[in-house]
A and B are shown apart, each in its own frame.
Chain A
């Protein structure tokens, strides 16, 4: 174990490199990569690594980057790629193909808003467009968590009960370009943590076709199998957390991270780095005597419904802060979780930090002041309008 100063982008690439090398005695590693701000540094770092029994293919588009990963995983190799924003949108079709073919590709996304008009800064609107198609989604709040999540993502994706792509999200620049001390395990530890990649339905010698035509009831059954497998993910993730701790000696962050939430009347709910800010705000307000807590949803797909419901239970007011907006409805996290609160709870949506706007402690304090005055849940509010 060493400690290195790394950006989150480089951390994701280093985690992927260690995972790639860990499969050197298996069928190796193959990855397609293509640059886009702000995830470029991730692929650059990966391209600088020497990987025994590995190849990183510099393709001509994100669509092809995931195409290479699909081919690599179909051939039984470990696979990884990284992208952002319009790159993810361009990759969209193949992300869905990888998911439906049940291929365990790991995808690091440096979240950036969609363009044009061009804006290279962070929000979650890129990744959330892919929420419905069978990719597991994690949203991270700091460098170490991102590094650990990428490592764990390989373990989770390749678990035979799971077998699907895992997307690990970091907000562009806010996290992707933040340099912080990161604990890096030895190759031996990673070898212990990650079994050799074994994809049962990979192309081998027996003639069979991956991805051919299905008739309606077959598609229905495959979707349902995929859905059922996703529902198992929180339990399997719990097992992986235990093994992660046993091998690396530190705790892999929970699927849902609660902070001083148990006895709180008011809860701040968010995803990604806003969650860290929320914890700081909780400390400040607690010192002033307010019973406030924070909840950070790290695993967004599958949505840990029971965990969120139990944290929402008994709360008077809940502020759901979304760094995204489903236009015509409101924040996605809010719209998906408001039904999990008790009937009398005020669940108010605050849309904040779209296109990379700073969400600072004072913004959260203002939202909470606004929330205190509400007797009923209202329509989603923009941060600037609070």
Chain B
């Protein structure tokens, strides 16, 4: 497992001079979206970029008129319209022969829920868009309500006893659109993240990146522990990090150790799981099933879980 420290991301001559996401923004401490944008800055380098942001925490983070927190031209759209507006922007760039990377930065509400039809349609049309979903598993901007990305067992402001339903498998849904590239991103694995971001930036057609984005405010966790939580989710197998090419070829990027220790640690470090008393044993069967399927899809003849 390759897990470089954040210091490894220090700016080099190859990196973008201007940050994508400037200092003085209003994001909570430990926000995964902030980390995503810092990582994206390094991956983007000097490629021309425009951002499309639907209603979300990112729309608030964009700053108050006339200032702009984003260091690139940005369009704020209505909640369910980012892929449609991005289709227009990418089309006009193409008509004018411009080498533009049209990037959507959307939360899980705008992706899994209200923007889902629009997202599916843009993926079906294979629009030339890079879609980045920073998934904090909650409606953060409205104060922490459940979304279809919220995992079962998590307490939110409108599921006070814990959500009953399982999280949508958004990556599989996007892969079913047979788009050129879909991948999940672990913010705790910078090198893998940068590689996939760069690859996604330079592909044509619809590309989708799914980022597990720690939300200390919604997860009721320690802000400084965000990356550690992601690492635990990856280690335990709860958040599989893999990529799918053309909806067919599945490649697992980071091998979990499937340890109950990591899973229990992940659950216990977030107060959102406290009330339902969720433990590793409750989640393990579903994780095993998911990985059996992923092994089959990725053509790896190894057990889903290596014991001992």
Contact = CB atoms under 8 A, between A and B. Distances in A.
A365 interface: no
Given A68-B87, A71-B52, A208 B60 contact: no
A67 B85 contact: yes
B52 to A, nearest CB: 7
A67 B62 contact: no
Contact of A63 (B68, B75, B81, B93): B81
Contacts of B81: 63-64, 66-67, 70, 94, 97
A318 B121 CA distance: 51
A57 interface: yes
B70 A209 contact: yes
Contacts of B68: 207-209, 212
Nearest to A73: B88
A203 B75 contact: yes
Contact of B92 (A72, A212, A213, A214): A72
Contacts of B95: 27-28, 30, 53-55, 77
Interface string A166-210: 000000000000000000000000000000000000011111111
A70 B118 CA distance: 14
Interface residues of B, number: 44
Contacts of A72: 88-89, 91-92
Interface string A92-125: 0110010000000000000000000000000000
Given A28-B95, A77-B92, A213-B59, A71 B87 contact: yes
A67 B73 contact: no
B247 interface: no
Contacts of A71: 52, 75, 77, 84-92
Contacts of B72: 207
Interface in B64-100: 64-66, 68-78, 80-96
B261 interface: no
Given A32-B87, A77-B95, A207 B71 contact: yes
B205 interface: no
Contacts of A38: none
Contacts of B50: 203
A69 interface: yes
A336 interface: no
A207 B117 contact: no
B65 A218 contact: yes
A359 interface: no
B63 interface: yes
A220 B305 CA distance: 60
Contacts of A76: 92
A28 B84 contact: no
B165 interface: no
Contacts of B125: 57-58
B48 interface: yes
A175 B77 CA distance: 34
Contacts of A287: none
Interface of A: 27-28, 30, 32, 53-55, 57-61, 63-77, 79, 93-94, 97, 203-215, 218
Given A27-B96, A66-B84, A72-B89, 4 more contacts: A28-B92, A60-B121, A64-B84, A67-B118
21 contacts: A27-B96, A30-B95, A32-B87, A54-B95, A55-B95, A57-B88, A60-B120, A61-B117, A61-B121, A63-B81, A64-B84, A67-B78, A70-B88, A75-B91, A203-B89, A207-B70, A208-B74, A210-B75, A212-B65, A212-B74, A213-B65
